[in-house]
Amino acid sequence: MELIHKTNVVGTLNMLGLAKRVGARFLLTSTSEVYGDPLQHPQVETYWGNVNPIGVRSCYDEGKRTAETLTMDYHRSLGIEVRIARIFNTYGPRMCIDDGRVVSNFVAQALRKEPMTVYGDGKQTRSFQYVSDLVEGLIRLMEGDHVGPFNLGNPGEFTMLELAEVVQEAIDPNAKIEFRPNTEDDPHKRKPDISKAKQLLGWEPTISLRKGLPLMVNDFRQRIFGNPKTVIVGGGATA
């Protein structure tokens, strides 16, 4: 856990120092976790958050909050050109199959005919954006004139049970769900207010979960099970 906090703090300091030396524009990819278990819903960039500073998740939450502090300190005191993005849950092809994130977990489990693991009652909510939407938002942020922070996320809100249903639709309607005790300090709700990004960056996501998830499923299926064998028949090839 200490390595997570150290990476956020020391890593950000190192990169800010590099940006200062070479005169580069610095992008901090922060996170919606800076809002903690929010008491404001949806979350706007002016909301300061509700974070447990000594909880099991605090190494990441507070690490990113410190990274934002350092970034703004360098910007104000040294004139470093910076941009800050607060990224909400993102999914898409080429994610690590067993990275522990909820979308990749559900997809990998359903493909392997394993029960999808839901923690708690499954009523906690998250918002899921497709990776290409995020990339477009980051490009607009870096090419624009505004420091941020900007929420970059899809405001479509799903409970974990609703997410599991979408995965069932995409992979297997009979996929099972297994409930386990919830993790400590798990946020109850998470949804970005993207009004600022719409107004200043001209950005909003365009790909819904039901449109983007099958693209991720196809990639996971190929990497989990491999390409089908090719058989040569009469000079041609069939799968």
Q: Which residues have a catalytic role annotated?
A: 60
Q: Please name every residue paired with 91 in a beta bridge, in sequence order, or none if there are none.
A: 130
Q: At what angle do helices 58-78 and 2-22 cross, to 10 degrees?
A: 20
Residues across the chain: 239
Compute the distance between CA of residue 66 and CA of residue 138 in angstroms, rounded to an integer: 21
What are the tokens at 164? 């599991």
Name 192's Cβ contacts closer than 8 Å, sequence gap at least 6.
32, 42, 43, 86, 88, 127, 151, 152, 153, 154, 155
Q: Are 127 and 88 in contact (CB under 8 A)?
A: yes
Q: Are 95 and 130 in contact (CB under 8 A)?
A: no
